[in-house]
Amino acid sequence: MKPHDLEEKLKNLKDNSTYEFFEAFKKQLKENPYGLRRVVYKKFIPVEWEHVEGTIGCRNKKEGTGCYTEMNIEGLFHAWGQTWEEFQNGVGNSTVAIIEDLETGDIGMYPPSHFKFKRSYYDKV
């Protein structure tokens, strides 16, 4: 739907709730022209090791690595995908979400348990 078509529909609306819906939709369309849903998700921070002074081959894990962040990173949900992991007795498939990080623009695959969809105004209408 093109923005000028939307303007014409807004002029002809009489129902106030429908008008609010289209106003919210128009705002969302300007902010997010591809219609991608916003999500919050958590990332895994890979393990980093630091050398212990005065030893040979001893390392300590850096604090704050090897764990997940809080579920507070904002992103855009693009699509569902599939990944696999190889085990001794075969291959295991699993569903993942393809999510773009809003801050850095990085795209990653995350299991469904690691993200939540944010609600928008027109989800409630």
Picking from 99, 73, 76, 100, the residue whose alpha carbon sits closest to that of residue 28 is 76
Average pLDDT over residues 65-73: 82
- Decide if pLDDT at 98 tops 80: yes
Say what the pLDDT of residue 7 is: 63
**pLDDT on residue 123:** 53
What per-residue confidence (pLDDT) applies to 96?
A: 92
Nearest residue to 117 (alpha-carbon basis) of 24, 36, 25, 20: 36
Mean pLDDT of 29-58: 79
Instruction: In whole angstroms, give the CA distance from residue 95 to residue 89.
Output: 20
Question: How do the domains of the chain map onto residue ranges?
Answer: 1-35, 36-119
